[in-house]
A and B are shown apart, each in its own frame.
Chain A
């Protein structure tokens, strides 16, 4: 009985050591594989207002994701996420029709991001935007 207890104790110790060592080996591998922290643009993105004529759209990267700034004229300047809310493709700006088209499954959005037709379940998220001295700042 005494020997049995000792065997159990040693087994537990061995198990504990193995478990700890496995953790010590897996942790660095996990950290190595984990995505690097994307520099969430504390970063604001700035573009010159004169570079964005009426009816034009400019694609930028904001917070590690594609975004778009549109000069819609009627609604003024709008900043939107350029990631389609359906399956994550990047929308294209159709200048002549003043709308966004998702080339993957033909989702259509208005220039302010509302869904016109197709599979997207919700509108394109709006991004904060301000204009100062001819400089458009997203973020």
Chain B
């Protein structure tokens, strides 16, 4: 008997691999009308993994010390072989993470997949979204450039507008009155330890919920597009006669990941400068604020919206309320209909929201 067959048999006896594959992969049936948008989660898992790998690689050469951070990043870009490649992948990966999270959330919104009994799926996903924004913000400071220093100053400054406790919170967050070396230490610990672990935990919760409750049925290609879940008791949503996850949908996942990689690699090799403005190449100077400092693209809408309110605190409250509304949407929207065209009010509001977000982002960019 071949050694590989012997090893397989040994493992099979102990792990029951065939039953596991049969039940969890081939026997894991997905709705027949499943579509491309259901592979957003796999793309995101792939991006998270890539961010983890490139992040660990960068940790080898990055020095989290205000005196040395900028030079260590400069060395990564100019001296370490392929350091520029690893860092550019990490930087563009961060933007991709936010972009694909938005796409994932929008597809879930339009297909009504957030509705009962998947409130917790949505909530854990929303938590992941805010955690990804937090890990992006904390990572932004680490290169200790003029851009990162002043963007963090502007971003954290909003905390100070909260009445009574604002000043205390701001100082606590920064580790001092202003952004400085203590802030770097705090943000570094958050970025490389606290937030990645928290994100990993929420990813596991999210995946557990997806597997436990079952994949939702997309509303397209069906006559009856209502949510069939009956309140009261737990029911796994199975899809008899559906498409097996392995190999059929896994192939779709891999195709989507390959497509993502093609776009990602294009940005890495052909337009890296899009992600590195001029101020990213100047070491942080706490006594000289550059003109027109702006946050990353995914914060531009919030940044521009804040400018529209007469009082910054009111602006923050309005945005916090809007975020809370989105987080708790499944608890507020109890309608059974899932098809976007059969719930025109919701669809109109969602499209309006997207347009406002886009308009504010473009306005923020050019303001």
Name A residues whose Cβ lies closer than 8 Å to a Cβ of B.
Answer: 28-29, 31-34, 36
How would residues 80 to 94 of chain B score, 1 for a CB under 8 Å from any chain A CB and 0 otherwise?
Answer: 111101100000000
Asked if B85 and A28 sit within 8 Å, CB to CB, the answer is yes
What residues of A have a CB within 8 angstroms of the CB of B341 in the complex? Answer: none
Residue of B nearest to A27 (CB): B82
B130-179: which have CB < 8 Å to A?
none
Asked if B80 and A36 sit within 8 Å, CB to CB, the answer is yes
| Between-chain CB contacts (< 8 Å), 7 pairs | A31-B81, A31-B82, A32-B60, A32-B86, A33-B57, A36-B79, A36-B80
Task: Quote the shortest CB–CB distance from A20 to chain B (angstroms).
Answer: 14
Task: Quote the shortest CB–CB distance from B351 to chain A (angstroms).
Answer: 38
Asked if B57 and A34 sit within 8 Å, CB to CB, the answer is no
What residues of A have a CB within 8 angstroms of the CB of B83 in the complex? Answer: 32
With the chains together, A78 CA to B81 CA distance in Å?
39
Q: Which applies to chain B's interface (DSSP): helix, strand, loop or mixed?
A: helix
Task: Quote the shortest CB–CB distance from A67 to chain B (angstroms).
Answer: 26
What 4 A-B pairs come out closest when comparing CB atoms? A28-B82, A31-B81, A32-B82, A31-B82
What residues of B have a CB within 8 angstroms of the CB of A31 in the complex? Answer: 81-82
Residue of A nearest to B60 (CB): A33
Asked if A28 and B80 sit within 8 Å, CB to CB, the answer is no
Q: Which applies to chain A's interface (DSSP): helix, strand, loop or mixed?
A: helix
B62-101: which have CB < 8 Å to A?
79-83, 85-86
A-B contact count (CB 8 A): 22
Interface size class of B (residues with CB under 8 A): under 10
What residues of A have a CB within 8 angstroms of the CB of B85 in the complex? Answer: 28, 32
With the chains together, A29 CA to B80 CA distance in Å?
11
Further pairs besides A28-B85, A32-B86: 18, Cβ < 8 Å: A28-B81, A28-B82, A28-B86, A29-B57, A29-B86, A31-B82, A32-B57, A32-B60, A32-B80, A32-B81, A32-B82, A32-B83, A32-B85, A33-B57, A33-B60, A34-B81, A36-B79, A36-B80
Residue of A nearest to B54 (CB): A29
With the chains together, A34 CA to B80 CA distance in Å?
9
Task: Quote the shortest CB–CB distance from B260 to chain A (angstroms).
Answer: 14
Residue of A nearest to B75 (CB): A36
With the chains together, A31 CA to B60 CA distance in Å?
13
Residue of B nearest to A17 (CB): B258
With the chains together, A34 CA to B60 CA distance in Å?
11
Task: Quote the shortest CB–CB distance from A51 to chain B (angstroms).
Answer: 32
With the chains together, A33 CA to B85 CA distance in Å?
13
What residues of A have a CB within 8 angstroms of the CB of B60 in the complex? Answer: 32-33
What residues of B have a CB within 8 angstroms of the CB of A29 in the complex? Answer: 57, 82, 86
Residue of B nearest to A29 (CB): B57
With the chains together, A23 CA to B252 CA distance in Å?
23
Task: Quote the shortest CB–CB distance from A27 to chain B (angstroms).
Answer: 8
Residue of A nearest to B83 (CB): A32
With the chains together, A34 CA to B82 CA distance in Å?
11
With the chains together, A97 CA to B145 CA distance in Å?
54
Residue of B nearest to A28 (CB): B82
Residue of A nearest to B85 (CB): A28
With the chains together, A31 CA to B79 CA distance in Å?
12
With the chains together, A8 CA to B60 CA distance in Å?
42
What residues of A have a CB within 8 angstroms of the CB of B80 in the complex? Answer: 32, 36
B36-53: which have CB < 8 Å to A?
none
With the chains together, A32 CA to B60 CA distance in Å?
10
What residues of B have a CB within 8 angstroms of the CB of A32 in the complex? Answer: 57, 60, 80-83, 85-86
What residues of A have a CB within 8 angstroms of the CB of B57 in the complex? Answer: 29, 32-33
How would residues 209 to 225 of chain B score, 1 for a CB under 8 Å from any chain A CB and 0 otherwise?
Answer: 00000000000000000
